[in-house]
Amino acid sequence: AQSVAQPEDQVNVAEGNPLTVKCTYSVSGNPYLFWYVQYPNRGLQFLLKYITGDNLVKGSYGFEAEFNKSQTSFHLKKPSALVSDSALYFCAVREASYGQNFVFGPGTRLSVLP
């Protein structure tokens, strides 16, 4: 069975500092990994994905994530946080076989303090 863990309910960071939002996953096969951001009362917005290839993937709004197969992790990072990055972040995994569903983590609330 697939599962996703986001070990931190809340992450606080000062504006201008680097941020990391952690994600670990479990799948029986090869994973497809995704990060989404959600602002209040809105749908989820896609940020980036890992399907295959380079372990470091770059996405929207300056975010990037590193796929680490040995640690089964896919942490989201940004070199310099903005107050506007404050939102709810979801990691998701999908097993690399057609028809498998997305499994989402519980979400991490990021607060960037001015």
Partner 1 sequence: SQTIHQWPATLVQPVGSPLSLECTVEGTSNPNLYWYRQAAGRGLQLLFYSVGIGQISSEVPQNLSASRPQDRQFILSSKKLLLSDSGFYLCAWNLQSGEAFFGQGTRLTVV
Closer residue to partner 1 in complex, CB, 44/82: 44
Minimum Å gap between C-beta 44 and partner 1 is 4
Of all helices (H) and strands (E), which one includes residue 34? strand 31-38
Spatial distance between the Cα atoms of 64 and 66, rounded to a whole number of angstroms: 7
The window from 13-21, 38-46, 69-77, 78-86 that contacts partner 1 (CB under 8 A) reads 38-46
Write phi, then psi, for 98 (nearest 5 degrees): -60, 135
Annotate 7-36 with b (16+ C-beta within 10 A) or e (fewer). Answer: eeeebebeeeeebebbbbbebeeebbbbbb
Options 96, 110, 111, 114; binder of partner 1; rule CB under 8 A? 96
* Residue 5 interacting with partner 1 (CB under 8 A): no
Spatial distance between the Cα atoms of 74 and 1, rounded to a whole number of angstroms: 18
Options 1, 10, 40, 54; binder of partner 1; rule CB under 8 A? 40
Options 16, 18, 62, 106; binder of partner 1; rule CB under 8 A? 106
Spatial distance between the Cα atoms of 7 and 101, rounded to a whole number of angstroms: 22
Closer residue to partner 1 in complex, CB, 17/58: 58
Closer residue to partner 1 in complex, CB, 80/100: 100
* Residue 49 interacting with partner 1 (CB under 8 A): yes
